[in-house]
Structure formats: structure tokens, C-alpha cells
Structure 1
Amino acid sequence: MKRIYIVRHGQTYINRYHKMQGWCDTPLTDKGIAGADQAGEILKDIPFDIALSSDVKRASDTCDIIVKHNVNHDEIQHIATPFFREHFYGYFEGMDIDAAWQMIGGPHGYQNHSDLFKNEPIDTIKNWIKDADPFHDAENAQEYWQRLDKGFKLISQLDGAENILLVTHGFTIRSIADRYGDFAITEDPRNASVTVMNMTEQKMKVVSYNNTKI
């Protein structure tokens, strides 16, 4: 069995300014760096065999900070891959979060992010993001999962890797917890929080979500 410790990247400036952040990127804030250090301390005694992250810098930097704390820090290889990027929001990248979700949910009777996520399946929301994008560049659910599934296939093929660090993004962690777990996902996981997934040849199962300890 593989155990995957899934960490959301530390706070960025776009997070701080309450804007949509998918494939666009900004640096970690001081709070974000401190959060990554805290996650590193929480996970320091887990002997990671390998570390993976999104190839977006905020996730890659968070991963490097966590690895520095780890008992196996001298041996851990870090693989950064686009497979574990955040959902691509297209036209909405960098937009104020409240304004973006009004544009996405408004045609369906929702005026805010909270009500939308309380009442609609997360893959439906992905499809609505693409529908609302005037350029239709945003990912829909099918496009998103085709990409993520390549990442999980990569993990499944890592022979001998049992304890795996994966640093990725809020909407992605929420999507994974919804698909492979039984958790309320009405709110984003906190920056630098830890979610744990077990992977066997038969199935994947999220066993804890959005924690600040393990």
C-alpha cells in the first residue's frame, strides 16, 4: 500500500488578496513560508520515499521547504509535474473570487461560492466554470480528471515508494477528497494543511482531510 500525504501549498499573495489562482502564480507570503515550515515539522518523522508537487512555483517551493525538515531529506527526490496543477480557471484567473463565482454560479441561481458548493456536485461546478468562461479555455471535469489521472498513474508506477509527499492546490485537494473520500468539502482546505490518501492496486481512499496534524 502507498500512503500519500497531500499538502496544500502555503499562502500566496493572490490568496491574501482573495483572487482566483489556478495556473497563474504568485510567490509565497511570509505567512505562506511559515505554513510550509509548520507542515514540514508535522511531517518530519514520516520517512518519505519521494516527493511530488505541481510544477507551479508556489507548490514546488512549499514542497522543497517541507522536504528540508524530513528525516529522509538527503535522499528524497522531488518530481514537479503539471499533472497535479490546480484546476485551470481560464478567463477567471486573477479575478476577485466573489466576482468570479457570481459570474460562474449566477446563471444557475447562485450568487456566492458557499451556496454553490453546498448544493452542487464539484464536477458540475467544473463544467460551469468552462461554460461561463467567454473563451472556454477553462478546464471542464473531463479535461481536469484526464490530467489528474495521469498523475495518479505516475504514483502507482513508483516501485518501492510507500510514503509519498504530494504538494498541490486547494480546489484539487477538495476534488480528490470528494471523489475518493467521504468528507464535507464545502470549504477549501487550509493553506499548508495535510490530507492523507491510501492507494492500493484495487482502490484509492482519502482517510483524513484538511488537518494541521497527523
Structure 2
Amino acid sequence: MRLYIMRHGETEWNVRRLYQGHSDIPLNENGVALAEITGRGLRDIPFDLAFTSPLRRARQTAEIVLRGRDVPLAEEPKLIEIAFGVYEGCTALPTERDPHPDPNLLNFIRDPEHYVAPEGGESIPGLCMRMSAYLNSLIRRRDLQDKTILLSTHGAATCAMLNAIDPPEGFFWRGGVPYNCSYAIVDVIDGEPELVAENQICYAPA
């Protein structure tokens, strides 16, 4: 089994640095373009099937990357992003409307060990448990052992999965928040996942 774990393309909320979580925000024009470039970059990868988060930004990314191919695409609720609850639509940056945002918002990016899940939100340990359980259930599927699979998901969800495979030295975000349309490659041999590459992109970063 080989997994390509991909973060979705750019959205307007990414540009504005708003916390998205379960908010169903579509790709913006640049996000569509990045997915198209990524699809061309991965055109020789023989995907057998794909799973996507139910959120539009992830589904659109998978559909664009796989455009023109006969690759089955199924929604997988467990691939959804961490829920931010009352933080969804907020930013950690000072604004005219909110010059003193909750410092806990910034903790999510800069100090995740001290991030506290807000009302209606999911904790980082909870996300890690969810993604680890999903990954373990996927790699145990006997019918998929010889398959190449695309997983279209989100930034925090991606890091949580990779941390289950290759634990970082104390920092949830590894080298930083994954680029939009970046992907990690994971090989599964005899039921054991091995991280081959991460944060790979098919375009020049800005």
C-alpha cells in the first residue's frame, strides 16, 4: 500500500488567516489552480482509489487532482479537519473589529501543547487519537494492501496522521503548517507504515 496524504488547495479563509475547522469553505481561484498544477504533477501516479474529507475544499481538491481519470472517490468523515467550535471564522491576528484576539488562537499555531479546545471544538490530543485510529484501520484493510491511495484532507489532520507514523520531537506542526496541495507519501509494508516524504509540492512556493 502507498498513501498520498494531501492537504486541500487554498481558500479565501486561508488567505485571510481565518480558522476554518468544519466550516465548509470552497477553494478560491488560486486554490483551483494549485490543484490543477498538482494534478499534472501527479499524472503518472497510478491511483487506484481516493478518500476525501466531506468538506468542499478537500473534495474539490481531490476531484481536480484526479480529473480525467477513472479513480473511485469516496467521502470519509474521519478525514475531516479539527473542529474549532466558536473559533471558526476568527483570526489570531489583531483586527479593527477585534484588536485583542484570544491568545489561545495563536497557541494553536505557535504553542499547540498549550492550546485549549474552545466551546464546541476538538482538542489536539483528540484529533491525534482520531487520525491515528483511522490510519490504523486503513492500513489493516487486506483488500487495499496492493493499492495506491489518495487521501484528501486538511493541515492539522495531515500532521496528526504523520505524527502517528513518525513522531516529531515535541512539536505538533513538524516543520510547519503544510502547504496547500502539499502531500506526504507513506508506504505500508507488512502492516507497518513508513514515511517516505512529506510537504511535497508541485509548484514554486510564494
**TM-score computed with the length of structure 1 as normaliser:** 0.78
1:129 aligned residue (92, 102, 116)? 116
Kindly indicate whether residue 141 of structure 2 is the aligned counterpart of residue 157 of structure 1: yes
Alignment size in residue pairs: 190
Kindly indicate whether residue 168 of structure 2 is the aligned counterpart of residue 172 of structure 1: no
Paired position in structure 2 for 1:139: 122
Structure with higher helix content: 1
Q: 1:141 to 1:16 in 2, by over 3 A?
A: closer
Gaps of at least 5 residues in structure 2 are 95-100
Paired position in structure 1 for 2:109: 113
Cα deviation 1:161-204 (Å, max 9, x = unaligned): 52101111011112223332266724111001121112234422
Kindly indicate whether residue 104 of structure 2 is the aligned counterpart of residue 103 of structure 1: yes
Paired position in structure 2 for 1:195: 184
Paired position in structure 1 for 2:6: 7
Gaps of at least 5 residues in structure 1 are 118-123
Paired position in structure 2 for 1:90: 85
Distance in 1, matches of 2:198 and 2:102, equals 24
Deviates more, 1:174-183 or 1:24-33: 174-183
Paired position in structure 2 for 1:121: none
Cα deviation 1:29-83 (Å, max 9, x = unaligned): 11000010111111111111101111111100110011115xxx12x11011110
Q: 1:154 to 1:202 in 2, by over 3 A?
A: closer
- The answer to whether the 8 Å contact 2:128/2:160 transfers is no
Runs ≥4 residues deviating over 4 A: none
- The answer to whether the 8 Å contact 1:19/1:94 transfers is yes
Question: 1:146 Cα deviation (Å)?
Answer: 4.2
Question: 1:142 Cα deviation (Å)?
Answer: 4.6
Question: 1:158 Cα deviation (Å)?
Answer: 5.9
SS of equivalent residue, structure 1 residue 19: coil
Question: 1:212 Cα deviation (Å)?
Answer: 1.2
Root-mean-square deviation (CA, aligned residues, Å) is 2.4
SS of equivalent residue, structure 1 residue 68: coil
Distance in 2, matches of 1:82 and 1:18, equals 24
Cα deviation 1:110-150 (Å, max 9, x = unaligned): 6x833x25xxxxxx35xx331xx2x2x21124532443245
SS of equivalent residue, structure 1 residue 177: helix
- The AA in structure 2 aligned to 1:129 is V
Question: 1:104 Cα deviation (Å)?
Answer: 4.6
Distance in 2, matches of 1:103 and 1:182, equals 24
SS of equivalent residue, structure 1 residue 96: coil
SS of equivalent residue, structure 1 residue 98: coil
